[in-house]
Amino acid sequence: MAAGGQRARLRPLDGGGGARPRSGQEAAVPQGTEAPWRLPGELPAPAGPTLSELFAASPRDGGWAGLLLGQLVPERPLLWVQDRMAILESGRIYPPGLGLSELIHVEVRDARDALWAMEEGLRCSALSAVVGELWGDPQALDFTATRRLAVAAERHGVAAFLIRLGGHANLSGARMRWRVASAPSLPHPLNPRAPGPAAWEAELFRARGFAPGRWRVGDEPAQGGETVKGAENRRDLAAAAGDRTLAAAGGRS
């Protein structure tokens, strides 16, 4: 799972309405706030770190979470926990694609161990966020477990993201719950017949303080050779070969 140098470029392509704060509820984090839990663009976000749940239509659609998490403040480490089935179905994460300076990756046997590792990580305020990637509907993942994660995130100020692969939206203590699925790619800037930047359909189907809404989200490519600040890991072109030929190295054949 990778974000491929997409930091600072994720934006909503269109909105489906809704997801505005309900009356009496606090709005999303104001523009310009350097909080590690901010969501990009006009996507709704909680007013502080809490537990958000993301349901992927297929294992590969979970890559949207990597793209989203690439927007986090890179100076703080990220803890990413995967259970064994999640790794088999979606693969291990690709750290260079997230653009974070520090990533702590934990592989565990099952959901019970993953939930324990997530809760322990949420007690460390030095982290930018804790991510748990789980497969299916494990018995250990019930309302009590998700409620514990939400409380730990809010108490210690560390955002939590629970990525559900092949799971169902059962009762949960998550404050925001999303469904994500792949969408047709954006137009290629040079060839309209070629695939362009990736895009996803993001649906907020349950949230505290927000009405439901739907967005098409994608990466906005740089135009006219523009350089994106903060996207040092961007790799639009293949890097130069690290090894030279024998002839170039010393004229030997």
- Which is more confidently placed, 91 or 152? 152
Query: Is 133 in contact with 90 (CB distance < 8 Å)?
Result: yes
Report the helix count and the strand count for the chain, using DSSP H and E: 6, 9
Which residue in 133, 125, 73, 127 sits closest to 98, CA to CA?
73
Residue 194 corresponds to which tokens in the numbers above? 């070629």
Q: Work out the percent of the chain whose per-residue pLDDT is above 90.
A: 36
Does the structure show a pLDDT above 50 at 5? Answer: no
Query: Is 159 in contact with 130 (CB distance < 8 Å)?
Result: yes
Does the structure show a pLDDT above 50 at 228? Answer: no
pLDDT category of residue 42 using cuts at 50, 70 and 90: low
Does the structure show a pLDDT above 50 at 180? Answer: yes
Residue 200: how many other CB atoms lie within 10 Å: 23
Least confident of 30-34, 75-79, 156-160: 30-34
DSSP string, 23-52: TTS--SPPTT---TTPPSTT----SS--EE
Does the structure show a pLDDT above 90 at 105? Answer: yes
- Which is more confidently placed, 8 or 61? 61
- Domains of the chain, residue spans: 10-20+47-222
What is the residue-averaged pLDDT of the chain? 75
Does the structure show a pLDDT above 90 at 128? Answer: no
- Quick one: fold of 10-20+47-222? Rossmann fold (3.40.50)
Which residue in 115, 116, 119 sits closest to 127, CA to CA?
119
pLDDT, one tens digit per residue, over 48-102 is 899 999 998 887 776 666 666 665 555 788 899 999 999 998 888 877 766 667 8
pTM: 0.72
Handedness of CA 69, 74, 78, 80 (dihedral sign): positive
Q: What is the mean pLDDT of residues 156-173?
A: 93
Does the structure show a pLDDT above 70 at 205? Answer: yes
pLDDT, one tens digit per residue, over 129-148 is 999 999 999 999 999 999 99
